[in-house]
Amino acid sequence: VAEKSYEYIKVSTPRPGVGLIELHRPKALNALFTPLILELNHALKTFDKDSTIGAMVLTGSHKAFAAGADIKEMATKDFADAFGDDFIESWSELPNTIKKPVISAVNGHALGGGCELAMMCDILYCSEKANLGQPEIKLGVIPGAGGSQRLTKAIGKSKAMELILTGRTFSGKEAYDWGLAAKVFATPEECLDGALATAETIAGYSRIAVKACKEVVNKSQDLGIREGVEYERRVFHGLFGSEDQKIGMNAFAKKEKAQWNHR
Ligand code: CAA
């Protein structure tokens, strides 16, 4: 990753097994435009393929996780540009193709596409004063990167409907109280630190088991409970064919720390 130089993001590996991606377009509060999304996709895919990486953290600055899709890039588009060129389609790589867990550490503004990007991640952490929301209604449009679906699944229809119809933003504390965020922190520093710590914990487990966990939890979003439980059982059975299942269970019996093969 270090070999590739990016203009709109920064990548690093601040802790063992953890890849960090920081959105870095400060002049536009990390507004999400195509060149940034392409860099983000490249970095995510590179970490996803890197066998030394077990989990990722995605963050912005203290001021803005991301202030939305780039309104200036969108303003001149007509229907043919948007529909014909599959505008926003390239944003789907994170939820659709990345297999390792990604934690978002949300500080400052996470509006429109910024909120949607945070919600595409597998776990959302934020600081109390983070400012999240789907204000697209104020621009004469609607959420376009999954906000109407993911926010509604996370916090329920009535509340999501109210937020999306009014464009009212909400705090990190509210996001936590409603179950959208898994944790809330007093400061941006603590938020990033907490996300990196969780990513490090995940990176310390069997990559095979972690990958399977992410897959089965995500299936719960698409399947009914009966099919979901059946799906989980098949994947659970499949893990008995892994080396790490033997390693983990034998280490427990011997009261040792498991040394995973990631196989
Ligand atoms: N697109 C393009 N540029 C943006 C931007 C965006 N979404 N958000 C901020 N910027 C730019 C501003 O234009 C400004 O640039 P200039 O210095 O060149 O004027 C710079 O970033 C700093 O912004 P502000 O001066 O506005 O900063 P502020 O602190 O006064 O306000 C803010 C911060 C409340 C986040 C405000 O910038 C704002 O409301 N931004 C737009 C938020 C928004 O509506 N997001 C949704 C976009 S639609 C979408 O995302 C569609 C989708 O679902 C995919």
Q: What pLDDT digit, counting tens, does each position of 107-155 carry?
A: 999 999 999 999 999 999 999 999 999 999 999 999 999 999 999 999 9
Cα–ligand 1 centroid distance for 155 (angstroms): 25
- Residue of 24, 25, 29 to mutate, ligand 1, most atoms within 8 A of C-beta: 29
Residue 39 lies in a domain: yes
Look up the pTM and report it.
Answer: 0.97
Indicate whether residue 113 lines ligand 1 (CB < 6 A): yes
Do 131 and 233 have their domain in common?
A: no
Range of the domain at 194: 9-203
Do 13 and 140 have their domain in common?
A: yes
ipTM: 0.97
Residue 263 lies in a domain: no
pLDDT at 248: 98
Pairing type for strands 123-127 and 102-106 reads: parallel
For residue 138, the ligand 1 atom closest to its alpha carbon is 44
Domain end, chosen from 203, 220, 238, is at 203
Indicate whether residue 67 lines ligand 1 (CB < 6 A): yes
State the total domains in the chain: 2
**Of the candidates 179, 222, 21, the residue with the CA atom closest to the CA atom of residue 103:** 21
Whether 207 shows a pLDDT value over 70: the answer reads: yes
The residues assigned a catalytic role are: 69, 113, 116, 136
Indicate whether residue 210 lines ligand 1 (CB < 6 A): no
Residue 104 lies in a domain: yes
Residue 262 lies in a domain: no
For 131, which DSSP code? E
Q: Assign 1 a pLDDT band (cuts: 50, 70, 90).
A: very low
Do 215 and 244 have their domain in common?
A: yes
For 32, which DSSP code? B
Indicate whether residue 28 lines ligand 1 (CB < 6 A): yes
Do 40 and 146 have their domain in common?
A: yes
Residue 183 lies in a domain: yes
Residue 221 lies in a domain: yes
Residue 20 lies in a domain: yes
Structure tokens at 242: 């892994």
- CA 134: distance to chain centroid? 17
Do 193 and 214 have their domain in common?
A: no
